[in-house]
Amino acid sequence: MVLENLHLLHFKNYEEATLPFSTHINCFIGDNGSGKTNLLDAIHYLSLTKSAFTGTDLQNIKDGEDYFIVRGRFVSNEKVSAVQCYLKAGQKKIITLNKTPYERVSEHVGQFPVVLISPYDTDLIREGSEDRRKFFDSLMAQLDHSYLDLLIQYNYVLKQRNSLLKQFAEKNYIDKEYLQILDEQLMPLGTELSIRRASFLETFEPVFQRHYQHLSGSSELVTLGYQSQLIRQNYAYLLDQSQRKDLLLQRTTVGPHKDDFVFLMAEKSVKNYGSQGQQKSYVIALKLAQFEVLAQKNDNKPLLLLDDIFDRLDEKRITHLMQLVANNTFGQIFLTDTHLDRTDKILQPLSNNIRRFRISEGKAETIEDEEL
């Protein structure tokens, strides 16, 4: 799969930009804060209909404007797909494929897979369980649309239940029959979510372990664990036992929205016992495993986005990633860097198909060969 071009209008710090891409390696070169990462995020948005870095869609609209457009053309197995994402403040987001809008935005997810490796990836280890759930949920959603539908349904009923719990507190009245109706809707959805997460991890873990060993050159055992309240108790029992607590706290305190994925090395927490280097190897191995399973499922290599890796990774890990580039493990690559000479020194031996863009204050210009 290849992204032929990208067009932006009022997206983040870009007034307007059009970029034609190489089918192999594309480099965004510029100072920090110039807008390099925003281009990667635009590609991420085009693929997954959401930003990798901002919490709400409105944060992606350029200051002083009330809408943004991200547009691009994908080519896969000679099939051309024109995708556009449009958002206007106060209105519903519209995603179109070949000028036809989706009835549901979620229908787009998984059609154009993408993997992002960024300096913030170690947050998967250092931050709370929500970040880890988002990583695995996003991966599973790209692999299997029925999982995404299940997750959407669960979150919808969960939101209804939490809203009802707040109403009970405000009105000082409890309608247990209505609460039971929502519980009966939530139970099968939550149970299925936990079952499918546990099943997926069994197949994903060996792929992850192999990448970690190759990346680190170490025989140390790394594992992925899954913690769910539903493993030992059925959801009906848990909801019944937690009802009093839920009413008091005005939110649902049990269920797969509380699950966690545990990152271990030699049966110890990577967060507490892993060195910085081990933590970096761990998350890169997670991303490389993500890339592999997406490529296998779709029989098509995802887009690979590399954000400031030459600044943030040591020579050993950069060398490993570049070896994978040289071996054609990856397909189309987009990367950011602050130094053109460093980028060229690393990449030129690997490919003759490289396009470079100079990024400055929300503007992108192609760097011609004679400028190098």
Could you identify the residue written with the tokens 């692999």?
143
Largest CA distance in the chain: 75
Q: Is the pLDDT of residue 211 over 90?
A: yes
pLDDT in tens, 351-369: 889 999 999 989 999 987 6
Q: 172: Cβ–Cβ under 8 A, 6 or more apart, which residues?
A: none
Element (H, E) at 187: helix 176-216
Q: Is 227 left (phi over 0), alpha (psi -120 to 50) or beta?
A: beta
pLDDT in tens, 303-329: 999 999 888 788 888 888 898 888 888
Q: Is the pLDDT of residue 372 over 60?
A: no
To the question of whether residue 22 is assigned a binding role by annotation, the answer is: no
Percent of the chain scored above 90 by pLDDT?
80
Q: Is the pLDDT of residue 218 over 80?
A: no
Residue 68 confidence (pLDDT)? 97
Q: Is the pLDDT of residue 283 over 70?
A: yes
Residue 317 confidence (pLDDT)? 84
- Give the Å distances, CA to CA, from 304 to 51, 209, 369: 15, 20, 24
Q: pTM higher than 0.85 for the full model?
A: yes
Q: Is the pLDDT of residue 34 over 60?
A: yes
Span of 71-75, 296-300, 338-342 with lowest mean pLDDT: 296-300
Q: Judge contact between 8 and 35, C-beta under 8 A.
A: no
To the question of whether residue 33 is assigned a binding role by annotation, the answer is: yes
To the question of whether residue 31 is assigned a binding role by annotation, the answer is: yes
Q: What is the rounded average pLDDT of the residues 238-267?
A: 95
Type of residue at 272: N
Angle at 150 between CA 147 and CA 154, to 5 degrees: 140
Q: 4: Cβ–Cβ under 8 A, 6 or more apart, which residues?
A: 20, 21, 72, 73, 74, 75
Structural domains for the chain: 1-113+302-371 (3.40.50.300), 144-297 (1.20.1050.90)
Residue 326 confidence (pLDDT)? 84
- How far is Cα 213 from Cα 284, in angstroms, rounded to an integer? 11
To the question of whether residue 30 is assigned a binding role by annotation, the answer is: yes
Q: What is the rounded average pLDDT of the residues 156-170?
A: 96
Find, among 366, 372, 368, 340, the residue nearest to 29 by Cα: 340
Q: How do strand 260-265 and strand 222-227 relate by DSSP bridges?
A: antiparallel
To the question of whether residue 35 is assigned a binding role by annotation, the answer is: yes
Q: What is the rounded average pLDDT of the residues 198-224?
A: 91
Q: Judge contact between 36 and 51, C-beta under 8 A.
A: no
Q: How do strand 2-11 and strand 260-265 relate by DSSP bridges?
A: unpaired
Residue 120 confidence (pLDDT)? 85
Residue 348 confidence (pLDDT)? 87
Count of CA atoms in the C-beta half-sphere (13 A) of 115 = 27
- Residue bearing the bigger pLDDT, 107 or 327: 107
* Band (370; pLDDT cuts 50, 70, 90): very low
Residue 49 confidence (pLDDT)? 94
Percent of the chain scored above 70 by pLDDT?
99
To the question of whether residue 121 is assigned a binding role by annotation, the answer is: no
Find, among 318, 366, 326, 321, the residue nearest to 342 by Cα: 318
Q: What is the rounded average pLDDT of the residues 132-144?
A: 95
Q: Is the pLDDT of residue 53 over 70?
A: yes
List, in sequence order, every beta strand (DSSP E) within the chain. Answer: 2-11, 14-20, 25-29, 67-76, 79-88, 94-97, 100-101, 114-117, 222-227, 260-265, 268-269, 303-306, 333-337, 354-360, 363-366
Q: Is the pLDDT of residue 293 over 90?
A: yes
Q: Is the pLDDT of residue 371 over 60?
A: no
Average per-residue pLDDT for the chain: 93
Q: Is the pLDDT of residue 276 over 70?
A: yes
Q: Judge contact between 154 and 186, C-beta under 8 A.
A: yes
To the question of whether residue 100 is assigned a binding role by annotation, the answer is: no
Q: Judge contact between 82 and 98, C-beta under 8 A.
A: yes
